[in-house]
């Protein structure tokens, strides 16, 4: 194993784990009870635990290229992200789902540039962001807006999952759309009224809201 990786493992075991030992033991004995499902991009610059100041047991995370959500199509393929959504909602009873896109996303950029011919799975997977693409010349501004439109698109798909829709209607689950700006360390939040992303405290809605503003709203504006 790479020396650097070994050193990192040793640092965890010698420096960090002892401080967390009792917490880990409780999480094993009592099980995990996270309240948040975080759907994020695999990008190495997106670090959910840092962003949300969280530790063991606090976030249930699924990451993939582009933070995409496949449709609930009941085709029973190898849909890891769909399985994670089902597990989080039905087994863990999470109360919030965050779909977190980010600036400078390689998956979103790849929507505008054909992937290598050998990357057949990537080409197929990128179809999940295709509807977010803008008919404009590629620019940084267009990429930021496409990243945001893609988050809205994934939220729309999430609402096609029967267990997600049902729990939203019951006021037990809320969805959030985020756009993380890597260089600034800021999160912009989807405002469901305008379809725009605004600084952090706008666009939030919680379980129990009388009328969930996401229901019936065309997010992809
Ligand atoms: Zn990305």
**Ligand 1 centroid distance, CA of 12 (Å):** 27
Q: What is the per-residue pLDDT for 212? A: 41
> For the chain, what percent of residues have pLDDT higher than 90?
81
Give, as one character, the DSSP assignment of residue 132: G
Q: What is the per-residue pLDDT for 199? A: 87
What phi, psi does 174 have (nearest 5°)?
Answer: -125, 155
List CB-based neighbours of ion ligand 1 within 5 Å.
41, 43, 105, 107
Q: List the chain residues with pLDDT less than 70.
A: 1, 74, 201-221
d(CA 84, CA 174): 16
Question: What are the angstrom distances between the C-alpha of 215 and each of 135, 171, 191?
Answer: 27, 12, 13
Q: What is the per-residue pLDDT for 78? A: 86
Cα dihedral value 25, 8, 44, 87, nearest 10: -20
Q: What is the per-residue pLDDT for 220? A: 56
d(CA 93, CA 64): 22
**Ligand 1 centroid distance, CA of 115 (Å):** 15
């Amino acid at each position: 194993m790479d020396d650097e990786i070994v050193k990192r493992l040793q640092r965890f075991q010698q420096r960090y784990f002892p401080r967390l030992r009792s917490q880990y033991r409780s999480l094993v004995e009592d099980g995990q009870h996270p309240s948040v499902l975080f759907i994020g991009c695999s990008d190495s610059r997106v670090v959910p635990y840092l962003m949300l100041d969280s530790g063991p047991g606090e976030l249930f995370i699924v990451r993939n290229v582009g933070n995409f959500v496949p449709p609930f199509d009941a085709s029973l393929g190898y849909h890891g992200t769909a399985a994670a959504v089902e597990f989080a909602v039905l087994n863990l009873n999470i109360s919030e789902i965050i779909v977190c896109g980010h600036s400078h996303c390689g998956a979103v950029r790849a929507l505008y540039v054909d992937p290598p011919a050998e990357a057949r799975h990537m080409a197929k997977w990128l179809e999940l962001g295709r509807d977010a693409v803008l008919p404009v010349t590629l620019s940084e501004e267009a990429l930021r807006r496409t990243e945001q439109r893609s988050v809205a698109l994934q939220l729309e798909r999430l609402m096609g999952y029967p267990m997600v829709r049902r729990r939203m209607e019951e006021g037990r689950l809320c969805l959030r759309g985020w756009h993380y700006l890597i260089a600034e360390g800021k999160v912009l939040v989807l405002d469901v009224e305008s379809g725009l992303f605004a600084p952090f405290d706008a666009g939030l809605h919680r379980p129990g809201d009388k009328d969930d503003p996401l229901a019936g709203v065309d997010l992809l504006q």
